[in-house]
Structure 1
Amino acid sequence: MTIDSHQHFWKYEPVKHSWIDDSMSVIRRDFLPQDLKKVYQENQVDGCVAVQADQTLEETNFLLDLAKENDFIKGVVGWADLRADNIDSVLEKYSTNKNLKGWRHVVQGEADHNFLLRPDFLRGISKLEKYDHAYDILVFPHQLGSVLEFVKKFPNQRFVIDHIAKPYIKDGFYDGWATLMKEIGKHKNVYCKLSGMITEADYKTWTAEQLQPYMHLTLEAFGSERLMFGSDWPVCLVAGNYGQVKSIVSHFISTLSSQDQNMIMGANAREFYNL
């Protein structure tokens, strides 16, 4: 079973989705389950995890409603303000929804490089284990030092790094990112998504060869038992199509055993998110 561990839905609103700049104008429209279902049929994908793109509880509820109506949406990673005083009651309320699998905050958008380590945020993260919820780490490479400190504090919490931590592929930067990813990978509660790579390269001139060193490093750091395929659809459409994104990963792992390939293309996501 192939599971796409990372995709988004939205009803496009210019103000809410102001992060979609002119270079990404191709995704300035609605993206809903009926659009993705067709893509999955064409690319032999069985299901997905829908991940938040907007930092509101309204969007979390919107994604959960979509999951309720569409069997192929196997789980939702929502957003809640983990810094809030009432976070306990919020988590308790959502824990009754079987489709809610985890949470994410757009940490890459925070000016504070050490956002993850602030006491109010750490307090919120400390509550997740009780509800068996995962946490998606969305950061840029310059925030990986904080990520290392962060994951050390919660050895029993399931974490996954989104988009291989967005290395600066377009600029050819590698070493600093690689050093920290190797360190983070030593923590067995941390997984990593092979996703969001073509949009970190040059949208128009990227090649699969360019992505190879980054994928090799993540495989070395996390092993095939802690990597998962994700498309980052529809964001990936600014630099390519779904088939290209899937084939980059499937071609890269084609020399691994069939068991390893199955883990990366679906089994790890099912286990990590309790799908």
Structure 2
Amino acid sequence: MSIRIDAHHHVWDLTRRPQPWTEELPALRRSFGFDELAPELRRTEIAGTVVVHTVASLAETHELLALAEREELVRGVVGWFDLEALDLPDVLAAARCLPGGRHLVGARHQLQSEPDQDWLDRPDVRRGLQELAQHGLVYDLVVAPGQLPLVTRVVADLPDVSFVLDHAGKPAIVHGDTEGWASDIAALARLDNVAVKLSGLVTEASWTSWTPDDLRPVADTVLTAFGADRVMFGSDWPVCLLAEAPYDRVVTTFEELIAVLDPTERDLVWGGTAQRVYGLEVA
């Protein structure tokens, strides 16, 4: 069996900073630490993870780097940086010098909740994206419905920047309305500088009644469009708990969704793609 990588999960400590986005989500209104996740990783034979920021906080990013320094299973950190800041090169260089800085693999911004829906297309943001590339960092994209055409335009204009689309672009599985999403995904997949995470699907379906069959058309669309060498697994823990999906259920569901692939392809989506795209060091 290949090395398994969880390319998308979160941790947060409410004693350090609030998580305003959880206010309407009672199941998430508590702290979630890596010590809670680690046993689940070992039980499901996950050999490494990429932890992703939750709020626009440089301090949180530094804390995630410190977590990666002390926790062997955390192989990569996707943090937050102000892409429009003039001192971004210095801020990135400083982060690399912190304990755990070698585990910094990417950056992200909550594009899905950005009031300016064209934020990604701002000249200063584009400059920041190019700065990330110069530092060998990937940019994760978390989008709201309707933002995929904007993403496709920016990704096409910046071929030297490596992008990863989170949560398969958040298709509206619960409404059964994925035709427009599928068309947008096909257009984005034609660009070879973007990969995609099969993550977060359970929370786009019915939280109380979803089954793997509900997710299968989306997974098949993504795998067909991108190919296994540009698709990776992500649990989106602990957000997955909203959909009554404990960690082991997310893993077994993913196993079902990729069962149609051959062994080489399964190795890629389980870990090979994440290792290559994020440059992870996993023994």
Q: Quote the offset at 1:111 in angstroms.
A: 2.1
Look up the match of 2:126: 122
Q: Percent identity?
A: 37
Paired residues for 1:196-275 under 5 Å: 196-239=200-243, 240-275=245-280
- Equivalent residues, number: 274
Q: CA RMSD in A?
A: 1.4
Q: Quote the offset at 1:13 in angstroms.
A: 5.6
Contact 1:75–1:99 under 8 Å retained in 2: yes
For structure 2, the 5+ residue unaligned runs are none
Report the secondary structure of 2:232's partner residue. strand
Contact 1:77–1:101 under 8 Å retained in 2: yes
Q: Quote the offset at 1:105 in angstroms.
A: 0.5
Look up the match of 2:174: 170
Paired residues for 1:17-56 under 5 Å: 17-22=19-24, 24-56=25-57
1:236-262 CA distance string (max 9 Å, x none): 011111112112221111121111101
Matched, 1:6 2:8: yes
**CA distance in structure 1 between the aligned counterparts of 2:145 and 2:152, rounded to whole angstroms:** 11
Q: Quote the offset at 1:15 in angstroms.
A: 7.5
- Cα 1:21–1:207 change in 2 (3 A) is farther
What letter corresponds to residue 272 of structure 2 in structure 1? A
Matched, 1:57 2:61: no
For structure 1, the 5+ residue unaligned runs are none
- Cα 1:15–1:46 change in 2 (3 A) is closer
Contact 1:105–1:138 under 8 Å retained in 2: yes
**CA distance in structure 2 between the aligned counterparts of 1:13 and 1:194, rounded to whole angstroms:** 31
Contact 2:172–2:204 under 8 Å retained in 1: yes
Paired residues for 1:101-112 under 5 Å: 101-112=105-116
**CA distance in structure 2 between the aligned counterparts of 1:217 and 1:13, rounded to whole angstroms:** 41
Q: Quote the offset at 1:116 in angstroms.
A: 0.7
**CA distance in structure 2 between the aligned counterparts of 1:236 and 1:14, rounded to whole angstroms:** 23
**CA distance in structure 2 between the aligned counterparts of 1:88 and 1:133, rounded to whole angstroms:** 12
1:11-70 CA distance string (max 9 Å, x none): 026972121134x31222111121111111221111100000011100001100100010
Report the secondary structure of 2:12's partner residue. coil
TM-score, normalization: structure 1? 0.96
What letter corresponds to residue 237 of structure 2 in structure 1? W
Contact 2:212–2:257 under 8 Å retained in 1: no
**CA distance in structure 1 between the aligned counterparts of 2:17 and 2:69, rounded to whole angstroms:** 27
Q: Quote the offset at 1:95 in angstroms.
A: 3.5
Q: Quote the offset at 1:142 in angstroms.
A: 0.7
Q: Quote the offset at 1:94 in angstroms.
A: 2.3
Look up the match of 1:146: 150
Contact 1:95–1:131 under 8 Å retained in 2: no
